[in-house]
Amino acid sequence: MDVIEVIKEQLTSNPIILFMKGTPNAPQCGFSARTVQALMACGEKFAYVNILEHPEIREALKTYSNWPTYPQLYIKGELVGGCDIVAELYESGELQGMVKGAAVAE
């Protein structure tokens, strides 16, 4: 399976997935840490990919998503955005609804 197929499989198999530097319990950058905090505060399970352990995904996802930075949050296969967008959505209360909606649909 080529790397784009792996990415597509991850997106279809996980209603909420975060491509990040590190893991939720040990983020490796401040942006990933802030994004994880917002997601965890929503109270639903989510999948993650540590792009530091998967350099081929790290490079291919930038092209696939047309988004150059990490973290990248996807809900129901759609790119939500990175740290600033996720933080804004959390502050406005929208992220909680998006996450709960994806978790219910699982």
Q: Which residues are known binding-site members for [2Fe-2S] cluster?
A: 29
Q: How far is CA 95 from CA 16, 39, 106, in A?
A: 11, 8, 17
Positive/negative CA dihedral, 43, 93, 30, 81: positive
Contacts of 21 (CB under 8 A, 6+ apart): 27, 28, 29, 31, 32, 50, 51, 52, 70, 71
Q: Quote the tokens at residue 59.
A: 């490079």
Q: What residues are designated binding site? A: 29
